[in-house]
């Protein structure tokens, strides 16, 4: 039996999910907005067996690092992009709310978040993680979700139950991501339950939405204004960066980035090209341009925006202009300028400025008589913001803070050493220590080789009489000969290494010239360290008057309602669980009414914190047969190395058998014998017909070839079609060839 519970704290938009099978509990997508109380997960986290993360945004993994701080000892599964970009999104969120960073009163540090995401077990799309031995028949398969880079649809199989967990997905490809191929993947057919969200996207084609987006950008830049794009740094920002970069190309328009983690998300994205659409990679290669090059954006602080006049594009982390985010600081600095255009590209849940701006745009667009994506409106209103002021710590306050951080780090190190002492040292740690020692030895030897030495060879004997050179003895480990990588480095790489060592402190020595932009890293997050210029954080309230242009274009990468109504029924599920859309509750009734028109499956509406049950009608048992019975059965071989036999009987537990008396057993035998005698003889075909093997067997005497996907044609007369895993059709006119092909198919199956 399968149970699903949507976990939502009272009065908040933060959400997680609990998936329960017989003996297995899975926590899925523990999101967090930085404000909600996470104590509702205290009683849950101690009972779950694993965690799965679907998307690299804080709506899906914002609470993970917070949970990991409290000594999380269960496996966590996610794709590599979800791990890397989720790390960046979490750092940005935690710094915005004052949970990490060089701030007085912080509870955690940068290293804690890094270590939490280092523990994640990364998986690839279409890769099945076999956990059957540990969790009694459980396996996980990650499928491309198409919503974000590395976004995942999870296929969870437990014995005969198949659950598709697809919280948010996109069937169509966008500017750099492939869409979710749900209908092309046979492993997704006939699931017991599909769990999906009612969050839907625009019915307008993606190409037309992008064209409207470019029109707004060009109109704003043409009048020398600023384009402000608030977005989620771990999610849809990558598509916007790619669109702007492709659109502007070599135009002298500065592209600015505001984020606590700087351009670290672009650095990660540039190293994960295999997760993107191949056509985009070929386009980058043809232009000779590295993808998501962080040098093409300029990382700035919100207080620097006013010193950069003229046309510019500003990416700001924080799709909803949340309190403490750099997006809200950028809004405060730019919203009073009439030349500024605020373009919203995604909806956000909860009470936030981003949500208020969307409803303001919607009402103004309706008043103008044209409510559609990309319509600009003049927005003039007062906004209540909460600016953050950070003052540097000085004097005794600074010393007290530094001592507190050092004491906290000492306790963590002692706790870590105590845990390591309780467990045995792994072989990997031994090998890493030996490798570091070998590298030190190689460095010493290399230094010795560079020193010229005069040697007296007049009294030398043996092989070294003329040449005083003893070749170093090669050292080997499990991977082969130990080498010094610097021996094989190119000259330009050696120069770079020398420069790094010489200018580790970014200071210019006497007689040297400072190169442009040297030492400035676009993705350096060392300023998040707890001892980097410690500050105190003060939150105030301010009312600002906005006079700017406001517009909304749906670029959040979600499936539209028409495609959803076609794809879900095509998968032939038994039940569909619908999660409410937290950004637009009205979508719930639209999606539910559309899917309920199909009578082939049940549609269940989920309420927060109320478990929903799904009991599979097909059950499997492991039965130990008696040796005498096994010898009497007629066993038949099928594909996959399995053997099957037909048995008719009653399955009872040992306790039930012990309670039966001998008379009842005799009566049962008589009833069974009568039942067997009167039973109509029907045969059930078991096995899988592989068209490739059928082609080999028929190619001896016939011309056999594949035409189309899943169709095998014999002598251009008879066609064998494999509709699904269990349905095979032999199509053709009755005749000798037809019956020969049919018999060949039957021989590949076992009958009981």
Judged by DSSP in three states, 378 sits in strand
- The strand ranges marked E within 553-655 are 575-579, 602-605, 612-614, 636-638, 642-644
Strand 152-158 relative to strand 161-166, pairing: antiparallel
Residues counted in the chain: 752
Q: Check whether 583 has a pLDDT greater than 90.
A: no
Distance CA(129)–CA(78), nearest Å, equals: 11
Give the mean model confidence (pLDDT) for residues 253-271.
92
The model's pLDDT over 676-733, given as tens digits with 9 standing for 90+, comes to 445 444 567 777 788 888 888 888 888 888 877 678 889 888 888 877 666 788 888 8
Which of the pair, 195 or 506, is modelled with greater confidence? 195
Classify 655 as helix, strand or coil. Answer: helix
Q: Give the mean pLDDT of the chain.
A: 83
Residue among 334, 342, 330, 353 at smallest CA distance from 379: 342
CB 486 within 8 A of CB 495: no
Which pLDDT score is estimated for 503?
41
Residue 296 has pLDDT above 60, yes or no: yes
Determine contact, residues 179/173, Cβ cutoff 8 Å: yes
Segment 202-208 shows an average pLDDT of: 92
Please compute Rg for the chain using Cα positions: 33
Query: Which of 528, 594, 536 shows the shortest CA–CA distance to 561?
Result: 594
- Residue 196: HSE in the Cβ half-sphere, 13 Å Cα cutoff: 32
Q: Give the global pTM.
A: 0.74
User: Token pair 């998936």 is at which residue?
Assistant: 19
Higher pLDDT, 514 or 335: 335
Give the whole-number percent of the chain exceeding pLDDT 70.
82
- Under the banding of pLDDT at 50, 70 and 90, the label for residue 638 is confident
Tell me the pLDDT tens digit for each residue of 72-116. Answer: 889 999 999 999 999 999 999 999 999 999 999 888 899 999 999
Structure tokens that stand for 83 in this block: 């791990």
pLDDT recorded at residue 67 = 92
**For 562, phi and psi rounded to 5 degrees?**
-70, -45
Structural tokens at position 302: 């919100």
At 461 the pLDDT is 66
**pLDDT band at residue 52, thresholds of 50, 70 and 90?**
very high
Q: Would you state the pLDDT for residue 446? A: 45
Catalogue the long-range contacts made by 475-482 (C-beta closer than 8 Å, 24 or more residues apart): 475/438, 477/431, 477/434, 477/435, 477/438, 478/431, 482/435, 482/438, 482/442
Q: What is the arithmetic mean of pLDDT over 328-356?
A: 92
| Mean pLDDT of the 114-130 span | 93
* CA gap 330, 338 in Å, rounded: 15
pLDDT at position 646 is 80
Domains and CATH numbers, the chain: 1-123 (3.60.15.10), 125-201+557-610 (3.60.15.10), 207-381+546-552 (3.40.50.10890), 627-656+679-751 (no CATH)
Mean pLDDT, range 146-156, rounded to an integer = 95
- Label residue 349 left, alpha or beta by phi (over 0 means left) and psi (-120 to 50 means alpha): beta
Q: Which two tokens stand for residue 27?
A: 């926590």
Following CA atoms 491, 495, 497, 499 in sequence, which dihedral angle do they give, to the nearest 10 degrees? Answer: 180
Over residues 273-285, the mean pLDDT reads 86
Average pLDDT over residues 500-505: 44
Local confidence band at 511 (pLDDT 50, 70, 90 cut-offs): very low
Rounded (10°) CA dihedral 481, 484, 490, 496? 150
Is 70 exceeded by the pLDDT of residue 519?
Answer: no
Query: What pLDDT is stored for residue 712 in this prediction?
Result: 86
**pLDDT at position 515 over 70:** no
- Cα 47 to chain centroid distance, Å, stands at 24
Residue-wise pLDDT tens digits, 359-368: 999 999 999 8
| Predicted local confidence at residue 362, as pLDDT | 93
CB 243 within 8 A of CB 210: yes
pLDDT tens-digit map of 420-471: 776 645 444 444 444 454 444 444 444 444 556 666 666 666 655 665 556 6
SS (H, E, C) 425-442: CCHHHHHHHHHHHHHHHH
Per-residue pLDDT at 231 exceeds 90? yes
CA torsion sign for 195, 199, 203, 207 is negative
Listed range (240-249, 650-659, 669-678) with the worst mean pLDDT: 669-678
- Indicate whether 510 pLDDT > 60: no
pLDDT of residue 211: 95
At residue 554, does pLDDT exceed 70? yes
Q: Of 257-266, 297-306, 425-434, 523-532, which range is least confident? A: 425-434
Report yes or no: 53 and 61 within 8 Å, Cβ to Cβ. Answer: yes
**Residues 188, 191, 194: CA angle, nearest 5 degrees:** 95
Instruction: With both helix axes pointing from N to C terminus, report the angle between 691-698 and 736-747 in degrees, rounded to the nearest 10.
Output: 130
What pLDDT does residue 661 have?
59
pLDDT of res. 680? 46
pLDDT beyond 50 at 473: yes
Q: What is the pLDDT at residue 83?
A: 95
Neighbours of 677 (CB within 10 A): 7
């Amino acid at each position: 039996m399968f149970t699903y519970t949507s976990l939502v704290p009272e009065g908040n938009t933060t959400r997680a999910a609990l998936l329960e099978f017989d003996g297995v509990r899975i926590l899925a997508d523990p999101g967090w907005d930085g404000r909600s109380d996470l104590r509702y997960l205290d009683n849950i986290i101690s009972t779950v067996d694993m965690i799965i993360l679907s998307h690299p945004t804080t709506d899906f993994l914002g609470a993970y690092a917070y949970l990991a701080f409290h000594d999380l000892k269960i496996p966590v599964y996610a794709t590599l992009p979800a791990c890397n970009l989720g790390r960046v999104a979490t750092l940005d969120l935690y710094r915005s709310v004052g949970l990490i960073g060089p701030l007085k009163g912080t509870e955690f540090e940068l290293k804690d978040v890094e270590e939490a995401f280092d523990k994640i077990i990364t998986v690839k799309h279409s890769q099945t993680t076999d956990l059957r031995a540990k969790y009694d028949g459980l396996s996980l398969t990650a499928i491309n979700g198409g919503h974000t880079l590395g976004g995942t649809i999870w296929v969870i199989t437990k014995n005969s139950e198949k659950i598709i967990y697809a919280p948010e997905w996109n069937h169509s490809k966008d500017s750099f991501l492939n869409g979710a191929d749900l209908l092309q993947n046979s492993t997704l057919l006939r699931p017991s339950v599909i769990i999906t969200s009612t969050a839907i996207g625009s019915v307008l084609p993606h190409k037309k939405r992008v064209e409207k987006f470019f029109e707004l950008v060009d109109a704003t830049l043409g009048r020398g204004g600023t384009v402000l794009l608030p977005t989620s740094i771990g999610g849809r920002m990558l598509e916007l960066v790619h669109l702007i970069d492709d659109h502007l190309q070599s135009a002298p328009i500065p592209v600015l980035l505001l984020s606590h983690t700087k351009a670290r998300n672009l650095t990660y994205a540039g190293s994960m090209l295999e997760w993107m659409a191949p056509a985009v990679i070929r386009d980058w290669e043809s232009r000779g341009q590295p993808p998501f090059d962080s040098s093409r954006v300029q990382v700035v602080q919100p207080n620097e925006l006013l010193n950069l006049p003229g046309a510019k594009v500003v990416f700001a982390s924080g799709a909803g202009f949340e309190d403490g985010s750099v997006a809200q600081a950028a809004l405060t600095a730019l919203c009073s300028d009439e030349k500024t255009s605020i373009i919203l590209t995604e909806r956000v849940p909860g009470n936030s400025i981003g949500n208020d701006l969307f409803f303001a745009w919607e009402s103004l667009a309706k008043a103008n008589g044209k409510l559609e994506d990309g319509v600009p409106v003049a927005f003039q209103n007062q906004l209540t913001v909460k600016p953050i002021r950070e003052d540097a710590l000085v004097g005794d306050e600074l010393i007290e803070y530094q001592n507190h951080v050092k004491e906290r780090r000492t306790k963590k190190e002692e706790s870590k050493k105590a845990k390591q002492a309780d467990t045995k040292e792994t072989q990997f740690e031994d090998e890493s220590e030996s490798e570091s020692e070998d590298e030190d030895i190689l460095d010493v030897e290399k230094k010795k080789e560079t020193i010229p030495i005069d040697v007296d060879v007049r009294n030398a004997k043996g092989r070294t009489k003329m040449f005083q050179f003893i070749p170093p003895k090669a050292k080997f480990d499990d991977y082969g000969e130990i080498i010094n990588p610097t021996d094989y480095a190119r000259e330009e790489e050696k120069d770079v290494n020398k420069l790094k060592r010489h200018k580790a402190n970014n200071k210019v020595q006497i007689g040297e010239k400072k190169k442009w932009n040297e030492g400035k890293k676009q993705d350096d997050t060392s300023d998040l360290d707890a001892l980097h210029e410690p500050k105190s954080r003060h939150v105030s309230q301010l009312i600002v008057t906005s006079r700017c242009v406001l517009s909304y274009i749906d670029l959040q990468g979600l499936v539209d309602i028409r495609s959803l109504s076609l794809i879900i029924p095509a998968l032939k599920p038994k039940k569909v669980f619908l999660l409410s859309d937290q950004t637009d509750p009205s979508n719930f009734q639209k999606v539910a009414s559309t899917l309920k028109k199909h009578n082939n499956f049940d549609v269940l509406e989920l309420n927060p914190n109320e478990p929903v049950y799904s009991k599979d009608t097909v059950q499997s048992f492991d039965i130990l047969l008696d040796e005498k019975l096994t010898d009497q059965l007629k066993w038949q071989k099928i594909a996959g190395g399995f053997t099957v036999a037909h048995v008719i009987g009653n399955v009872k537990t040992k306790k039930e058998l012990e309670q039966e008396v001998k008379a009842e057993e005799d009566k049962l035998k008589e009833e069974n014998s009568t039942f067997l005698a009167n039973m109509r003889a029907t045969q059930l075909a078991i096995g899988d017909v592989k068209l490739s093997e059928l082609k080999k067997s028929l190619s001896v005497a016939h011309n056999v070839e594949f035409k189309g996907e899943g169709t095998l044609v014999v002598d251009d007369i008879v066609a064998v079609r494999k509709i699904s895993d269990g349905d095979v059709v032999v199509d053709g006119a009755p005749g000798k060839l037809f019956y020969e092909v049919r018999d060949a198919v039957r021989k590949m199956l076992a009958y009981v």
